[in-house]
Amino acid sequence: MSENSCQVRPFQLSDYISVTELLNEVLSEVCYEETMAAFARQLSWDSELIMVAEEEGGIVGVIVGTIDNQNGYYYRIAVQSQHQRRGIGQKLIESLKQKFLQRKVRRILVTVDAYNEVVIPVYEKAGYQASDFSRTTHRLQIVNG
C-alpha cells in the first residue's frame, strides 16, 4: 500500500469510536486514560486541532494538539502499528502545523511526557529540535482540566 493512499483531515464526530479504538490499541492503559480525558476536553474546546489519517475508509492515525498561552502544542500522536513507518505520522504533524500557523501561534512545541519519549524521533524527522520539546512542569490545560 502506498503512502499516497492516506488522507489527513480534521476530526469529525463520526470518527470518535474509531479514534478511541485506535488510541486504546496503541497506547498503554495509563496513557490511554490520561489521553482520553485530554482528548475529550480538546474536543469540547476546539476539535479543529485534532487531525486523523484515513486510509481505505478507516482511521489509521490521529494527532491531538492544543493551544495554550498562545503556543501550539502537539500533545499526542498515534498510528496503528501495521501502518507505522510509512510517513503517516509526518503527514499528521504537518497538517496540525498548518492549523497552528493559521492560528498565528507564537511558537509550536512538542509536549514530552513519559508516554511519548518514544515518538521524539518522529518529530525530529519533521524538523523539530531539542529546543522545541516541552518537558516543563507546566501542564497543558487539556491535561489539567
Stronger pLDDT, 6 or 136, i.e. the higher one = 6
- pLDDT of 92 reads 97
- pLDDT of 67 reads 94
Judge whether residue 140 has pLDDT over 70. Answer: no
DSSP single-letter state for residue 139: P
Other beta carbons within 10 Å of 45: 13
Task: Give the position of cell 485530554.
Answer: 38
- pLDDT of 3 reads 45
The predicted model gives 9-35 an average pLDDT of: 95
Per-residue pLDDT tens over the stretch 69-112: 899 999 999 999 999 999 999 999 999 999 999 999 999 999 99
DSSP single-letter state for residue 82: G
- pLDDT of 135 reads 82
Output the CA–CA distances (angstroms, integers) from residue 54 to 18, 39, 62, 66, 96, in the order listed.
Answer: 10, 18, 9, 21, 15
Cell of 103: 492560528
- pLDDT of 1 reads 41
- Residue 95 parent element (H or E): helix 88-102
Report the alpha-carbon distance of residue 39 to residue 16 in Å, rounded.
10
Report the alpha-carbon distance of residue 52 to residue 23 in Å, rounded.
12
Residue type, 40: A
| For the chain, percent of residues with pLDDT exceeding 70 | 90
- pLDDT of 4 reads 56
The CA-CA-CA angle for residues 71, 24, 3, to 5°, reads 70
